[in-house]
Structure 1
Amino acid sequence: MSKPTFHPLLTLTVIAAAAITKERRFIGFDGNTAAAGAKALGTNPVTAAAGEAMPVDSHGVILVEAGAAVARGAQVQGDADGRAITLAGGVSNGYALAAAAAAGELIPIVRGI
């Protein structure tokens, strides 16, 4: 697979409420990894220690790690680890612009207002 491309249109700064040790996970409005099925502020391009300022890509074409196989065009929600999975009763956090064959792959998603 080629390296996924991304184009964030809005990057916000939040304070990490706890240590964020994995990149490209859904981050909640509270500065924690977003809860399973919850609305996310965006994804984090870097890790952060608790209390540290952290960028969060909120809108545009952003990258997220898949938590399972995801089809291109599918709406995605977060799993318990903040990874993207196919929407199944949670809140949509965007649309997959590329497929993920398995967990652990980075995929671009599109997020709007």
Structure 2
Amino acid sequence: MQSTPIFKMTVIATAAISNNRFLGMLTGAHCAANAKAQGVANFDAAAGEAVAVTVLGTEKVESGAAVNAGVAVKSDATGRAIAQAGAGEITGYAVTPATAAGQLIEVLLAAP
């Protein structure tokens, strides 16, 4: 598994941020369930710290459940990737699978 970032932005964290999780669009915090994501945090950060966010390309994202390769993914309530079902913003497409929550998968990020 790899990551191929094409475009990154710097965000000031408004809350504690965990590496490899989706961040909400211009929120500085983990993405809410079904919300639009700005990108994926590149490292842990405390509130008030700057964090690099991959916005375009592929990035490693922590899974929130089992995810099959090739499916559209969205954010759960803690910024982890879950399979898109029903309502919610598509944040990307799983390149690699996860068999359970807590595993890293490669995600092709959808443009915000």
Specify the TM-score bucket, using the shorter chain as the normaliser.
over 0.9
Partner of 2:83: 86
Does residue 14 of the first structure (1) align with residue 11 of the second (2)? yes
- Which of 2, 6, 23 is matched with 1:5 structurally? 2
Aligned twin of 1:25:
21
TM superposition score normalised by structure 1: 0.92
Instruction: Give the Cα–Cα distance (whole angstroms) in 1 for the partners of residues 68 and 16 of structure 2.
Output: 31
Q: Retained in 1: the 8 A contact 2:42–2:52?
A: yes
Partner residue in 2 for 1:104? 102
Quote the RMSD (CA, aligned, Å).
0.9
Identity %: 47
Structure 1 stretches of 4+ moved >2 Å: none
Match of 2:52, SS?
strand
Q: Which amino acid aligns with 1:36?
A: A
In structure 2, give the amino acid aligned to 1:69.
Answer: A
Tell me, in whole angstroms, the C-alpha distance in 2 between the residues paired with 1:57 and 1:49.
18
Secondary structure, aligned partner of 1:41: strand
Residue 71 (structure 2) aligned to one of 53, 70, 74: 74
Gaps of 5+ in 2: none
Letter in 1 for 2:96: A
Determine which structure has the larger strand proportion and give its number.
2
Equivalent residue letter for 1:13: T
Aligned length: 109
Structure 2 length normalisation: TM-score?
A: 0.93
